[in-house]
Each structure stands twice: as structure tokens, then as C-alpha cells.
Structure 1
Amino acid sequence: MAAREFDPTTAPPPASPGTLARHAGQTLAEQLAAQFAERIRQRLLAPGARLPSVRECARRQGVSPHTVVAAYDQLLAQGLVEARRQRGFFVRDAQHRPAAPSSAPALTPPVDATALIRGMFAGAGDRPAPGLGTLPPDWLDLPLLTSTLRRVLTQADPVAALQYGHPSGDPRLRNALAVRLADFGVRAEPRQIITATGATHALDIISRTLLRPGDAVLVDEPAWAVEYARLTQLGVRLLPVPRTPDGPDLAVMAALVQAHQPRLYVTVSVLHNPTGGSLSLGTAHQVLKLAEAHDFWVVEDDTYAHLAPPHLPRMAALDGLQRTLYVSGFSKILSPGWRVGFLAAPQALVERLVDTKLLSTLTTPALLEQAMALCLEQGALRRHAERVVQRLDGARQRTVQLAEAHGCRFVTPPAGLFGWVDTGTDTEALAQAMHDDGWLLASGHLFHARRQPTTLMRINFATSQDAGFWRAYAKLRRGR
């Protein structure tokens, strides 16, 4: 991707309140202030987040309210938080706070997306992470990855291995992808396919090619905050469309289209993140009619294709890649580290998209793409995906039972990797408290284009089966 919002190789692990030492070289207040300060600088506490009340923090840390007040006073003095009369202490916006010490990396994401992302990279401990966006490592097939790479390395042309790859991506992989897309009814010639370093990079290539600052873009709400952050960073205007179980709210979409003449609509059509819903055939047809009538492109992100039944409708199949651009990747099914993604586009856009790719990454790793082609050609990826889907079905059933037994209500029917649940309590504050106990949550506010309090949260069915997590969740919820 051309511009990264985070750098996990340089980010120190987050400080974890709850480890105060009474005989350390610092006072308890100094230790507590330092831990909160580190969280704020790592954006695990995002701008606008409310710190625990003095009484709640004192109870959680086992210290006196006087100690907490002293710690918060130090954060005020450092310009990291602000006090709001009769409301409490809130993290200040980075643009209005003093620069961090030189030892801390200077990173400025446009929205709160990195709060969850950094937690995913650093981890909240050895416990399962219900807010994680990927499959657990023990669900992945490491022998498949290593054996495939070994075969590619032994078979590779030694001269080609030392050169740049093809600008559009490895030809063998693009041929294999054309065959794979046909399973979904998407008819794309290899020349219409461009590889990328992950699906997010593919989305970035499209955005940088088709958008200019000030353009309006339709987005689902809720949706994955990284997409909001990317588009905001490009200077475009977001037009959030409420997501229903069948897809976007068509009445709201039609009104926004009429008023703002958007350039793009970006959506996850199948196994939507975070709701798990999929586009109905009728809704897909109506979206394409709107796009045709008002001349905007539809960008269809099919990141979770390998976890979904192939018969679910894709807009790229319905319109034959006339007004749609299709995006997908393999990090959700193979490994987050295999940054291989791709896009399929109308032929008239291909050269412009390749030019943008060349300016952002030159080319993509040919050896990794050849390994992916081998996985597709020999059916290894298909067999692995079938095993994962079977295991995920069982995990989803167990997690739903645990969630409902502990007072959660599913807002949308459970499907795919994620569940969208109503907890009945402020999940941003809950996520802070759970993080102190070593659990990573995905608060619902991270999935909205504009910051707002919410009782919703996203859970990962594969990492939310631990009954211990639900007991800890229920205990903290009762204490709020």
C-alpha cells in the first residue's frame, strides 16, 4: 500500500494498567499516568475516548481515588487529556496536544482505525482476542504454505527470480484467478486482473485512480474503519449508507445519490464486516440500476469469499464488470502475512489502474504470487477453505450460545466470521476495561464513519469460544 497508517515493526507493545508496583522507583500516580500516556500515544485510547471515572479506575487498580486524581492531573499537564465539567476526562485530539517525546513514533491516522489495529499487532496478552479480525494461527495450514513456497523456489527461473515481476502481476496467478472468479459467475479475462499486496492495497489502487479530493463516496455504515480512514486521508467526502441485513438501505442511498452525485460506492457485498450479512439479489440489482442512472462506480470488496457459499450474488457477476470493480485477497483464509490481493476491472480502466500500482509499489512479489497460483491450481486452497468453513460453523454455534447466555443480542443473523451484537452497555468503555484484563474487544464505535457512543461490538466467532472471556465480560458489565 502506498501510505501506511501504522508500522507494527517499530510500535512498542502497549502498556497494561493493572501492573502498578508499590516499591518501584516511581509513585503509583506516576506509574498510572505513564501507562495511560503510553496507551494514548499508541492510540489504544483514541482521541475523544473517555477515561474511566476516578472511582472506577481506583477500584480497578486497587488504589485510592487520590492516586487516580494525581495521575489524571499529570496527564492534563502533559496535554494528553482534557477535563470536561461534570463529564470526566477525555483524550485530546492529537492535533491539539503537545508533540510526543522523540522516542515515540510520530503517526497521525485520520480516524480511530489504528486503535484496534495496533491492538491486533501488539496483542492484549496470551488469551484469545474476541475483537481480532483474522483466524487464529492454529486454524491455518503452515505446512501448506511452507511446502508451496519450497516448490516454487526450486522450480523458479533463477533469472526471473532476480528481476521485477510483471506490472499487472504474475501471469500464472492471473490465469488461475480468472478460473476462480468464474466459480462466482464473474467473467474476467486475465488481462482484466491486477494483483496487489493485499485487498486493502487493491482498494487503494482503485481509490487513487478514480477519486480526487472533494469527491463524494458512498460507504456502508457500519463498516471496517480502515476504509473510512483511507478515504478520509485522500480528502474525499464520506456518505454513510445504513447497512441492512439485505445490503444498503436503498432509500437512503437514492437520496444521497441525488443530492451529492457520488463517484464511487465501496461495499463488502458477501459476509459483510462487521454484520456478517450478504447482499440479496434484489438489492444488488437496485444498486446497479442506481449506479447506471447516476454514473458512479461500484467497488465490490469480496475479502471473505473463501468463507462464503459461492452461489451468493456478486454485483460484478450481474453486470459483467461493466460498472463494478471486484476486489479480493487471501489473508483471511491463508495467513495475514501472505499479502496477496487482486482486483478485476473493466478493460477500459486497466492501464490507468496499472499505472497507479506502479507508482505505489512498482510491482508485487512474483514468487509469492506463483506460490498462490500453485495453491489455486492444485486445489490445496479449496480443500483448506472447506476445512476452515466446517470448523467455523461449529465455533459460530458455540459462540452464539455463550453470547446469548451472557445477555448479548445479535443485531443481524450470525453468519461468516463476525457477529454484530448488542451488549446493552457502552462498548468503548467496556473495551478499555477488558483490555486491562488481557482481552481485545472491537467496540462498535470503530465501525462508524462518525464517532458516536454505541452498545454494539463485533466479535470473531473463531476467537470468542472461551467461556472464561464471557465470564469476565459479564463480571465487568455488571460492575458498570
Structure 2
Amino acid sequence: MDDRPDTRTGQVMAAIRARVAGRALAPGDRLPSIRSFAATMGVSPSTIVEAYDRLAAEGLIRARRGSGFYVSGAGLMPLALAETEPRRDRAVDPFWVSRQSLDADASVLKPGCGWLPADWMPEPSLRRAMRALARAGDTVLTDYGGTRGSPVLRRLLLGRFAEEGIGAAPDQVLLTASGTQAIDLICRFLLRPGDTVLLDDPCYFNFQALLRAHQVKVVGVPYTRSGPDITAFEAALAGASPRLYITNSALHNPTGASLSPQTAHRLLRAAAAHDLTIVEDDIFADFEPEPSPRLAVLDGLDRVIRIGSFSKTLSASVRCGYIAARSDWIEGLVDLQVATSFGGPSPVATELIARVLTGGGYRKHMDELRRRLNGMRRKIAARFEPLGIRPWLLPRGGFYLWCRLPEGVDSAGLARTALDDNVVLAPGNVFSVSQTASAFMRFNVAQSGDPRVAAVLRRAIGAAGADRGQRQKAAIELQARSGLPGQGIAVGPTE
């Protein structure tokens, strides 16, 4: 809607909001008549009518038939700043990065978030697709989606699977409202409270958050540069009898590592021996320069379920995910999606995505993204090096760097300090099932280019070092006064 402050309607709305906020207009007060306020503001009466109608829709004012407009008594004031900002004192847990990033305003820098900046996305293609969509049939704009989602988009996915070597049938693909909903449906379908699920340690933090909601037990498996530690994986299968394993095979979140052929082979063999189902989240696939091994390809969608979405490459605003699995499982998942969402994802979203994917510019867009990200990974790694922040590995693709912090610096403390300077970071332990990643931080290189990020990190690391020095000094003084041996006094986090 055109209520920006640089439009006449927006100026009228801003004037009314200011009068209410300043208590010049109180609950129950009558607003000026349309004609008198139009003369005061120097605009047409139709502009005032439009402004009043929009403020009424917001709930700030209300109309009385034949009497005019009055200030509403309910929902009167705009939310106070403290109510609209994310809580800064919340626990640094798997919800930390999501809540801080999603609720922050545009002035906040987000090197810890999980999406690309707006100017990195294919905005011209999205706008062209939206204009074409406006001319589409009425049913696309008004009706529910089919239970399996857009046939056009599902055919596109089947074609991409075939290029990889997955011979999936149409009844093996289900579109969902998002990648997160895809995992949620699978968990609802396959898990019961008390079941055990394996996760990589570290792993994407929202896997943990979602599984917490499903009241299951989570067991972490250490993640290496070639995939999960296969010895620990096999031991967890034997000891914990898990129902499910959720992972990223390619450009793993947060580490950026990719599965090796040897690890993939042993992992599938162990899964078959223990009747384990694997959920392979392939959301970063298109960021790879060349495809690495995929469990779904090697397994043929027997005990491996593939999920994905388009939020990382096209738009996080136009949400749509997918599930590829055995046809009998898809049938059950369709019923579950109908029960929880009544139909598939929005036809507007799926039609828009399909138009962008078939518009001829997607491959060029991804080529450009990979080129830019290659440069940014090297640039950010070099910029962080003097700060003592070093990548665990330099990934083949994608936009994450999993970095070790300087000795003695705790990532959660660093994240809290940086938040005071309006910088959202992603501390290591939000990704760690075992809480053993306090010395690590995940950085989104595409969101880390602003020089203020490095400046804030430098100050925060300096403050952490000064605090550690003060604690060490206090510990030494305490030792001197007590006459006790110093080695038993804890002075800070250790690894």
C-alpha cells in the first residue's frame, strides 16, 4: 500500500498518528471532518478518505455511521520500541539467531543470519514473474492449492532429479509451504514423543528447535570435514536405536563441509542395517560448483527422504518447499498436510517460483551468485584473520564460514556484546547438541561485508580479553590471600 511518508496519503496518516501519540487526540475523540482536514493538510478530500480508511483498517480509528471517525480505545498506541524489538536478554539457545535476526529492523547488521541480502537476489526476475502472475487466471489468485502442489513446479523438480540420476515418479514429490514445514510434516509422520533422532554436531540450529517441539530425544554425532564421524555414527545406531537422521550432505550448515563418497557409502550401509530413515536437506545444492555425493541419489529414495526449498536462492518471502520420498510415504504426508494446512502451498507462491525457474535467467543468476560468494568467502576470511578469527575450512561453495575464535573468547558472550552495537551474530553452541562449540561462530559472508562488522568484532574481542584479564588477576589475588594452589581456580572458558 502507498502509505510511505513521501506520499500525500502517508503524510496524512503520519499526522494523525503523531496527534494520537502526542495525546492531542485521546480515545473516543472525534477526528476532524474530511473537508476541514483536507483544507488543513492542503490535499483533496479523497486523500483524507483513503487515509482514514487505512487507519481504520489498522484499528487506530473507527467509523461511526453518519457521525464521522473517532480514535479507537483498543489497540490505540503504536507498540513501544521495547515491545517491537527482539528481547536482548533471552537465552542463547537454538532460537537465538532466528529471533534476533527476524525481528531486527533494517539498521541492524546480520552476519549471523541465514539468508542473502536483498540486492543479491533475482529481483528483476521476481518482478517480471509477479507482473505475469497478475495476468494469470482468477483461480491462481483466489483458490486453495492442490493437495500435492503445482504440477508445473513438481515437473520441474522431477526434471532436475533426473539430471542427478534420481528416477522419481510424479507421485513421489510433494510441495509444502516451506522447507521447515517439510521437516515438520516428516517428523509428525514418522516420529512419536520419546523417539530418538540423530543430528550432526554441530548442525542447523532449527533442527534442534523443531525436534524439541516434537518431544523427541536428540543424539549428536560429531561432524568432520568429510561428513559425520562414521565410527561415532555406527555406535549411536547400535546404542540409541534412532528412528531418524537429519543432515545436510552438501555445504553443511554451519560448517560448509560436504559428504565424501566413502562416508556416504558407509553411512547408507549402517542405516540399512539398523532400519534408519534419513532426511537429507538439500537446500544449498545449487550453490555447489560441482555436485558432491548425495544420499538420495545413491539410495534411490528408498530410506532417504530429500527435502529442499527456494528461500536461499530465489526469495525468503515467497515460501515453498518440497519432499521427495517413497510414494506410499508421500500419500500419508499428503493427508497430513491436508489435515494441518488444508491443501498444498499457496498457488501464488508456486506459480511465481515456477515462472522464475523457467524464465531463462535462473542459471545465470546462480552462476553470478557462486562467483560473488567465492570472492566474499576469501575476502571475509582475510579480513577476520588479523582479529584471530579463522575458518575451520574454506568451503567449496555457499555463504557460511564456520570460524574458530581467538583463544579464551566465548562466542555467546561475544554475540551478546555485539548485539549492543546492533550486530546479530550466530554463536557456536546454538548449533551444538553437546554444547561443545563455544569457541566457534558461524558467519554469513554475504552479510559480513560492511566494515562495521569487523570493527564491532574487534571491540567485542578486546572487551572479552580485558574481562578475561581482570578475572585472571582476581583469581591470582584470591590465590595469594588464601595460600591455596592456583591450579584449582577457574578463570574462564576452556576448550
Match of 1:307 in 2: 287
SS in 1 for 2:164: coil
Matched ranges for 1:25-64 at <5 A: 42-47=86-91
What letter corresponds to residue 471 of structure 1 in structure 2?
A
Matched ranges for 1:14-413 at <5 A: 42-47=86-91, 112-123=93-104, 126-156=107-137, 158-159=138-139, 161-363=141-343, 364-413=345-394
Match of 1:77 in 2: none
Contact 1:216 1:264 in 2 (8 A): yes
Q: CA RMSD in A?
A: 2.1
SS in 2 for 1:113: coil
Contact 2:403 2:440 in 1 (8 A): yes
2:247 & 2:195 partners in 1: Cα distance? 17
Match of 2:452 in 1: 468
1:422 & 1:220 partners in 2: Cα distance? 18
Superposed CA offset, 1:267-289 (max 9, x none) = 01111111001111111111111
Contact 2:309 2:322 in 1 (8 A): yes
Offset of residue 127 of structure 1: 4.9
1:472 & 1:226 partners in 2: Cα distance? 26
Offset of residue 43 of structure 1: 4.8
Gaps of 5+ in 1: 1-34, 50-111
1:197 & 1:400 partners in 2: Cα distance? 35
Deviation beyond 4 Å, 4+ runs, structure 1: 450-453
SS in 2 for 1:354: helix
Offset of residue 246 of structure 1: 0.5
1:380 & 1:453 partners in 2: Cα distance? 40
Gaps of 5+ in 2: 1-79, 465-495
Contact 1:149 1:368 in 2 (8 A): no
Contact 2:204 2:431 in 1 (8 A): yes
2:448 & 2:166 partners in 1: Cα distance? 34
Deviates more, 1:347-356 or 1:270-279: 347-356
What letter corresponds to residue 254 of structure 1 in structure 2?
E
What letter corresponds to residue 361 of structure 2 in structure 1?
A
2:144 & 2:455 partners in 1: Cα distance? 53
1:417 equivalenced with 2:399 (yes/no): yes
Alpha-carbon distance change, 278 to 391 in structure 1, aligned in 2, over 3 angstroms = same
SS in 1 for 2:449: coil
1:132 & 1:264 partners in 2: Cα distance? 27
What letter corresponds to residue 432 of structure 2 in structure 1?
H
1:356 & 1:116 partners in 2: Cα distance? 29
2:143 & 2:463 partners in 1: Cα distance? 60
Offset of residue 124 of structure 1: 6.2
Offset of residue 113 of structure 1: 2.5
2:299 & 2:461 partners in 1: Cα distance? 47
Contact 1:44 1:118 in 2 (8 A): no
1:436 & 1:256 partners in 2: Cα distance? 41
Contact 2:204 2:254 in 1 (8 A): yes
Contact 2:115 2:316 in 1 (8 A): yes
1:159 & 1:299 partners in 2: Cα distance? 34
Offset of residue 330 of structure 1: 0.5
Offset of residue 371 of structure 1: 1.9
- Which one of 442, 445, 458 corresponds to residue 458 of structure 1? 442
1:199 & 1:379 partners in 2: Cα distance? 24
Offset of residue 161 of structure 1: 4.3
What letter corresponds to residue 45 of structure 1 in structure 2?
D
SS in 2 for 1:331: coil
Contact 1:45 1:115 in 2 (8 A): no
2:139 & 2:313 partners in 1: Cα distance? 31
1:290 & 1:420 partners in 2: Cα distance? 28
2:356 & 2:328 partners in 1: Cα distance? 30
SS in 2 for 1:395: helix
Alpha-carbon distance change, 310 to 155 in structure 1, aligned in 2, over 3 angstroms = farther
Contact 1:428 1:453 in 2 (8 A): no
How many percent of aligned residue pairs carry the same amino acid? 35
2:132 & 2:106 partners in 1: Cα distance? 36
Match of 1:82 in 2: none
2:268 & 2:192 partners in 1: Cα distance? 23
2:249 & 2:390 partners in 1: Cα distance? 23
Q: What TM-score comes out, normalization by structure 2 length?
A: 0.73
Alpha-carbon distance change, 402 to 124 in structure 1, aligned in 2, over 3 angstroms = farther
What letter corresponds to residue 356 of structure 2 in structure 1?
C
Number of equivalent positions: 381
SS in 2 for 1:458: strand
Q: What TM-score comes out, normalization by structure 1 length?
A: 0.75
2:361 & 2:99 partners in 1: Cα distance? 32
Contact 1:124 1:435 in 2 (8 A): no
Contact 1:44 1:115 in 2 (8 A): no
Contact 1:269 1:279 in 2 (8 A): yes
1:446 equivalenced with 2:430 (yes/no): yes
Contact 2:251 2:395 in 1 (8 A): no
Match of 1:428 in 2: 412
Larger Rg: 2
Offset of residue 453 of structure 1: 6.6
